[in-house]
Structure 1
Amino acid sequence: MDTDTGFLDPAQENAAAARSAEEAARAALAGTGAYLMPPADVLTCLGADASSWAHFAAHWQDLSEDAYAARLGTRRLRRYGHFSLSPATGELRLLPHSAFVQPDNTNPLYETVDRHFDPLTGAFVADPVLRRILGLLGRLVGALEVAEWWSVRVHPFRVLATAQGAGEPTPEGMHRDGVTLVSSLLVGRDNATGGESTVCSPDGDDILSATLCEPASLLVSDDRGTLHGVSPVRPVDAALPARRDVLVTTLTPG
C-alpha cells in the first residue's frame, strides 16, 4: 500500500483481485459443485497478458490425431500429460509418459481401453501460463478435498467439425471422470456454434449450463457428485470448418 495516499499499488490490486476471484470459485465449488470463472478473473489469477496468452494458445497448432475418437466419426486432436502437484509448496513434477486409463464406472466408451496419446511437447510443459493454470486449479481443488499430492492429468484438445459431420467434444455423453475436480479452459474457437457445457446432478438436475465463447473462460466442477458433458459443435459458415480448442485438466489425490 502507498503509505502517502492509502491506495493499493497496481501489483497489490491485482493480487487482491486474484484472491477475490479464487475465493468466489472455491465457495461455488463447495456449495453448488460448479463454477464458471470469467476470462478477466482467470487472466488476473494467471498474471497473463495478451502476448503470453497468444504464446500459450499457439501450442494447439501442435496436437496429434485422436485415433480413438476417429473410430466414432469425430475428428479430434490432442496430447496428454500427467503431473503431480504439491498444494503445500506448489511443486509440479512431470511424471513418466504412459497410457491414459479411464477409471471403472465412469466413461462407458473407454473404461476398458488403455488409450495411447502423444505426450505434451517440452515447450508446452515449460510454458509459464500452463504452470500457473495448474497452480490455480491446485488452489481451487482445496475447497473440496485435502491431499498431500495431487495427480494432475492434462489434456489439450482441438475438436473440428464440418457441414458433413458435427464435432463431438464428449462422444460418451454426460459422464464422470472419476476424479475430484474436472476443469475445462477455453483456449479458442472459430466459426463454431454449439459446444454448450453442462454440469448436472446424478439425477439429471441442471446445475450449470454455459457455452464457453470467450478465450480464458474456465469451467470447474466437483466430479465426485456431478456429471458433465458438451453438446456437438457445428460450423456457422458451412463452407468452412469449425474449431474448438480447450484444455481439460483433472485433479485427484495422488
Structure 2
Amino acid sequence: MDESTEFWTPAETTAFQEPSPAVAAARESLASTGVHLMPAAAVRAHFSSGEEEWARFASHWEGLSQDRYAAERGTCRLRRYGRFSLTPATGELTQLPDTPFVQPDRSNPLYVDVDRHFDPLTDAFVTDPLLRSVVSLLGHVAGALDSAPCWIAKVHPFRVVATAGGEGQPTPEGRHRDGVTLVSSLLVGRNNASGGRSSVFAPEGPTLLSATLDEPASLLLSDDRRTLHGVSPIRPLDPSRPAHRDVLVTTLTPA
C-alpha cells in the first residue's frame, strides 16, 4: 500500500460520547494502577455485538501468516500487522502505509531495533466493523493516560500454536514492554488450550494482575510506560491434538 487509506471518515463517525460505566472504570484503573481487565460481557455490551459478528471477526484468524522471526526461536506463531491513525475528537480512523515493525530500545529484549517484516492486514479484516469498534474503545480508554490529539494504533492479530504433546510461547521474550503508551490484548478464541495466563507486573517485580483470558472478548489493558507484561505457555488439553490461542494485540502511542 503506497498511500494512507481513510476508510472511516468524519462524515461516517461521530465525536466520542460520554464513556460508559465500563470504559470509565477502565480509565480509572489505568490512571491509578496502570492495569485493568475488562470482562467479556462489558466489551460485548460496549460493541453491541452478537455471536454472528464475533464469529465473523474470529474467522480472520484463519488467514494469518507464519511469523518467521518467532519460528527462528522455536515458536509457532501466526500473525499479520498494520497501522492506523485515530483522532479521538471525531473517531476518525485512517489506515497508514505498511512499514516494518520496529520496537524501541528498552522494550522487547529479543527484537530491539530489528526491522521485522510481516504480511499486511487483509482488506476484509481492515473493513470489519468490529476492528473499528476495538480501536475506538481503546482511544476512549487511552485518554486517561495522555490527551493526545491523534494516536498511532499498531494492530497485531496473533495465533500461537502448541503442537501435540508440546507447548506454545505467546511471549518467548518473557516479561517485557512494547515501548508504547497503551497495550491491550483482546482474546478472540482458544482451542484445546490450557495455560496462557496473562500477567502485568510493576517494574520492580510485584504482580499487579494475573488472569487467564478464557472468554472471547475479554480485554486486558495496561499502561506500558510503567508496567511489564507476559503470558505463560499454552499446552494442549488433549495431548494428541494441537492447541491454539488467538488474540488481537493493539497498542496506542501519541502521533
- Sort the TM-score into its range (normalised by shorter chain): over 0.9
Q: Which structure 2 residue ranges, 5 or more long, are not aligned?
A: 1-16
Alpha-carbon separation, structure 1, partners of 2:240 and 2:145: 45
What's 2:120 paired with?
A: 119
Which portions of structure 1, spanning 4 or more consecutive aligned residues, are displaced by more than 6 angstroms? Answer: none
Q: 1:163: Cα distance to partner?
A: 3.6
Post-superposition CA distance 1:178-206 (Å, at most 9, x none): 11100000000011011000001001111
Amino acid of the structure 2 residue aligned with 1:58: S
What's 2:167 paired with?
A: 166
What's 1:106 paired with?
A: 107
What's 2:48 paired with?
A: 47
TM-score by length of 1: 0.92
Alpha-carbon separation, structure 2, partners of 1:224 and 1:181: 8
Q: Which structure 1 residue ranges, 5 or more long, are not aligned?
A: 1-14
Q: 1:148: Cα distance to partner?
A: 1.1
Please report the RMSD computed on the Cα atoms of aligned residues, expressed in angstroms.
1.2
Q: Which moved more, 1:185-194 or 1:157-166?
A: 157-166
Alpha-carbon separation, structure 2, partners of 1:55 and 1:112: 35
Q: 1:47: Cα distance to partner?
A: 1.5
Amino acid of the structure 2 residue aligned with 1:23: A
Q: 1:83: Cα distance to partner?
A: 0.4
Alpha-carbon separation, structure 1, partners of 2:52 and 2:164: 33
Alpha-carbon separation, structure 1, partners of 2:181 and 2:113: 21
Give percent identity, aligned residues only: 64
1:133 corresponds to 2:125? no
1:143 corresponds to 2:164? no
Amino acid of the structure 1 residue aligned with 2:171: T
Amino acid of the structure 2 residue aligned with 1:249: T
Alpha-carbon separation, structure 2, partners of 1:58 and 1:180: 29
Amino acid of the structure 2 residue aligned with 1:210: A
Alpha-carbon separation, structure 1, partners of 2:108 and 2:78: 19
1:86 corresponds to 2:87? yes
Q: 1:164: Cα distance to partner?
A: 4.3
Amino acid of the structure 1 residue aligned with 2:50: D
Alpha-carbon separation, structure 1, partners of 2:127 and 2:163: 33
TM-score by length of 2: 0.92
Q: 1:112: Cα distance to partner?
A: 2.9
Alpha-carbon separation, structure 2, partners of 1:226 and 1:28: 13
- For these two proteins, the number of residue pairs brought into alignment is 239
Query: Which protein is bigger by CA-based radius of gyration?
Result: 1
1:36 corresponds to 2:37? yes
